[in-house]
């Protein structure tokens, strides 16, 4: 399951983000979105977890908790539907 993590500190690293979620289960991927021009963090990212039940536990436990001085937003990342034209 892919988890959206918003309002993260601009200084947060991929390792720090992974460390938040690994407590709840196997993390298979972590990505922090950065600005293409500056390379600086946009303040959100995605965490991929192997099992849905572990991901749900992480979402419940971490949503709206304070990390590095910011209340992070954690929820299921919904993929955008593509329309055939």
Give phi and psi for 16, each to the nearest 5: -65, -40
Residue ranges of the domains in the chain? 2-74
Question: Are the C-beta atoms of 74 and 20 separated by less than 8 Å?
Answer: no
Exposure of 71 in the CB half-sphere (CA atoms within 13 A): 2
Each residue of 37-80: pLDDT tens digit? Answer: 999 999 999 999 999 999 999 999 999 999 999 999 999 997 65
Provide CATH code, domain 2-74: 3.30.70.330
Least confident window among 28-32, 70-74, 79-83: 79-83
Give phi and psi for 8, each to the nearest 5: -80, 155
């Amino acid at each position: 399951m892919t988890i959206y993590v918003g309002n993260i500190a601009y200084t947060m690293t991929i390792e720090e983000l992974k460390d938040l979620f690994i407590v709840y289960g196997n993390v298979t991927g972590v990505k922090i979105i950065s600005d293409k021009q500056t390379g600086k963090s946009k303040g959100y990212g995605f965490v991929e977890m192997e099992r849905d039940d572990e991901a749900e536990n992480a979402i419940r436990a971490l949503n709206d908790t304070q990390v590095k001085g910011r209340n992070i937003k954690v929820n299921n990342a919904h993929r955008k539907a593509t329309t055939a034209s």
